[in-house]
Structure 1
């Protein structure tokens, strides 16, 4: 499988100089599922931030398909990788469908925008939130909001999914569903 993300020598320090990441390395290939496991405060979310291009390391490099993430325009990053953070707070009364549709923003004014309706419908069906499409996101339970956030990321239709604790707010059934979705995405060539 092809190498999609390559990070090496990644070091991130906090204000007091303490390293959250110290010379970390990771390779993400198309069709593979990786799980970062470690105690709270180990730097897992920081590594996600560095890989996504949202956090700049003090040293090291992240390459996306052989190009430095740091030199890639945000819109181009959003067309290649989707990021699901631990916290996905929506305080405005957007509907479920509106939030999922936000995942299509990187494809606006491109030929891929013709797939918006299909991508949104598929993502909502996959995460079992289609019946909630008209509901206001702030009115949903924590598990429902987590599934909407995952649907937004799936609708983004990228080749790389970076999911930070995607099952944390979910019951056991939906936990298993998310893992099934992740495996299906990997089988389709997504990293």
Structure 2
């Protein structure tokens, strides 16, 4: 038997240890942020939640480690991979990608946005599934028709893409515009919704 064999831990033991750590942190109220990574048709997504609700959805191209570091800095360093705390949103995302869900029901924690950005992000779920609006139409809808660029910025910095559907906002000419997850992801989400 080698030294390495003495310290080998199988994946089942590791999973049990992780579950014990999560349960202990949760019961002692030491867990401010829980996260998990889910696979979707547009690639892996990182989901993070506080006790108040879902606080972040991130695309792999954003660098999950960088996103977690940012969350640890801006919200709390007490962050842990705790998949079961995000089961509800994972299920809702599965239903969305299977065209069985049109509206997300999970509670949201909007603390990563403020001011006009949060106003825009609160409006975005009013753009119905399978429909789109222009940046200009959104600006008018939130009471500031000249704030087209600010609407673009609010969409570009949306910490909850897909759930807060900034992908439904297009340029005035109908072209996609930018998207945090990339234009291919934006096009795929719009196509998914149109096909349903």
TM bucket normalised to smaller: under 0.3
Q: Which has the larger radius of gyration?
A: 2
Question: So what's the TM-score if we normalise by structure 1?
Answer: 0.27
TM-score between both structures, scaled by the size of structure 2: 0.26
More helix by share: 2
Which is strand-richer, 1 or 2? 1
